[in-house]
Chain A
Amino acid sequence: MRISTVGYSAKQGIKNIGRNKMFSIASIATMSACIFMFGLFFSLIMNFNFILKNVESNVGITVFFDEGLDQGTIDIIGQEISNRTDVKSCTYVSADEAWESFSERYFEGYEDAAEGFKNNQDNPLANSAHYEVYVNEIEDQNDLVSFIEGLDGVRSVNQSQEATKTLTTINQLVTIVSLVIIIILLIVSVFLISNTVSMGITIRREEIAIMKYIGATNAFVRLPFMLEGIIIGVIGAIIPLVVLYFLYQKAVTYMLTRFTVLTDFMNGLLPVEQVFIWLLPIGIILGMGIGFIGSTVTVRKHLKV
């Protein structure tokens, strides 16, 4: 196909959008609604994952050692844990640090009482030196616990079984639910676009018939419609994405001021740039794809003359 033919088809595609204003507006509105919903879910899912990851990173495991274990062996244990790829961090907390943190938390304002404990029996948490270990992915935590339990010199490993299980389940659930919702949205949007394109083609059936009588190939007839579909798709994607960009910024500001828990314990919400670095290209490609598939499938049905 000649470049001039592609140029001509592109021009025709653009002109068609203007010629069939009502149809174009309907298609763009449909596409916008679909991409808006998609973007909304996408932002929610990204933020949910972000919050979940933050919560996950706060669910650690504590490794206690056998009584009287020498520092050399403790260091080796620490080394072996840190060497694993699933470990995010492994911090040593000595018995003194453990007592300090305990007394800061529970004897605030009664420092004398805390000192009294210590004077009588040295450090009440003498055997509480430990490692605090955090994993990269919460799903790996059980494996890691079994590994550490098998190490020589380890007395016990504490982990919050419930928290781990709940977070893992929530994580899987969110992934499945979001996938299902996105797939349903995509199917619905292809169907809606195909329907609107179908309406547009019915109006132009005569035009298609004339093209075919003159000797136009299927590709020649199809090309302007396909390009029109892609252009409608891109416009239908850009509009909701711009709206979402500003809405998202407003929503994040509102949520963070209204629900301080989000900033205090969960590192807040994702900034708009971090969401849109993904959402923008995905949204536009999706719009183009839906427009392309919707128009191609529909034109194919109407080409038999």
Chain B
Amino acid sequence: MITLDHVSKSYEKGHPALDNISLHIDKGEFVFVVGASGSGKSTFIKLLLKELDPTKGTITVNGNVLNKLPRRKIPKYRRGLGVVFQDFRLLKDRNVYENVAFAQRVIERPTSVLKKNVPEVLTLVGLADKYKSLPKELSGGEQQRVALARALVNRPDILLADEPTGNLDPRNSVEIMKLLEEINARGTTVVVVTHNREIVNAMKKRVVRLRKGVIISDEKEGVYVED
């Protein structure tokens, strides 16, 4: 499903952000990619989003070799991914329903399909009764659930979550993680990039640890210990 083969990424100055990384994630897996700031987590997620290209090596996602993917095919590729960010990235001037429906609009789903899918996914994340609220009227946890609903509504094969609990309190963090687990149980591959030790250790999932751009451990049911 996701394969990184000897991937390096260097910016103009300094140490490479990722240094000769090889990693394979199977369909249906739940993987944490962890590390302190500067470990290369953000670069990892940006490479998977095809926001950046690797300096060396090849990345294959869902059968697409990202290095060779032409610009015009990026939108179609991204539609196969669901993405959740630390800062939620919701459209502030649109209500919950419109934010989720937007993902369906982008892939040009007819309005009739959209009217069925959006309430369904809002029910899944527990926000069916708040569909008319604007993001600013919601708590951080609720905003992240809207972002999750938006990421899920197109039924992606892969869900990428970049520090999904970074702006949340412990209770909301646990709830978001439960949701991610539920989504994973339905067959979606979930990759969570985080530095939230408590959450990682509570979940007992595969943990890939990064330090200064290098994988220092990759364990099933792993834990995130002090670097």
A209 to chain B, nearest CB (A): 8
Residues of B within 8 A of A215 (CB): 75-79, 81, 106-107
Residues of B within 8 A of A211 (CB): 102, 106
Contact, CB under 8 Å: A206 / B89: yes
Contact check: which of A2, A5, A207, A213 meets B78 at CB < 8 Å?
A213
Q: Does B96 contact A (CB under 8 A)?
A: no
Q: Does B83 contact A (CB under 8 A)?
A: yes
Known: A210-B91, A213-B49, A213-B89. A1 touches B79 (CB 8 A): no
Q: Does A214 contact B (CB under 8 A)?
A: yes
Q: Does B110 contact A (CB under 8 A)?
A: yes
Residues of B within 8 A of A19 (CB): 93
CA distance A150 to B107 in the complex (A): 78
Q: Does B51 contact A (CB under 8 A)?
A: yes
Residues of B within 8 A of A4 (CB): 108, 110-111
CB closest chain-B residue, reference A305: B51
Residues of A within 8 A of B107 (CB): 215
CA distance A212 to B81 in the complex (A): 12
A214 to chain B, nearest CB (A): 5
Contact check: which of B89, B103, B108 meets A5 at CB < 8 Å?
B108
Q: Does A216 contact B (CB under 8 A)?
A: yes
A208 to chain B, nearest CB (A): 11
Which of A4, A207, A210, A214 has the most B CB atoms < 10 Å from its CB? A214
Residues of B within 8 A of A218 (CB): 75
CB closest chain-A residue, reference B107: A215
CB closest chain-B residue, reference A7: B111
> What's the dominant secondary structure at chain A's contact region?
helix
Contact check: which of A1, A209, A214 meets B108 at CB < 8 Å?
A1
Contact, CB under 8 Å: B91 / A214: no
Q: Does B150 contact A (CB under 8 A)?
A: yes
Contact check: which of B75, B91, B105, B110 meets A212 at CB < 8 Å?
B75
Residues of A within 8 A of B78 (CB): 212-215
Flag A182-215 by CB within 8 Å of B: 1 or 0 each. 0000000000000000000000001101111111
Within 8 A of A (CB), among B93-148: 93, 102-103, 105-108, 110-111
Q: Does A92 contact B (CB under 8 A)?
A: no
Contact, CB under 8 Å: B91 / A207: yes
CA distance A5 to B150 in the complex (A): 18
Which residues does B use to contact A, with CB under 8 Å?
Answer: 49, 51, 75-79, 81, 83, 89-91, 93, 102-103, 105-108, 110-111, 150
Give 6 nearest A-B pairs by CB, closest first. Answer: A215-B79, A215-B78, A216-B106, A217-B75, A215-B75, A210-B89
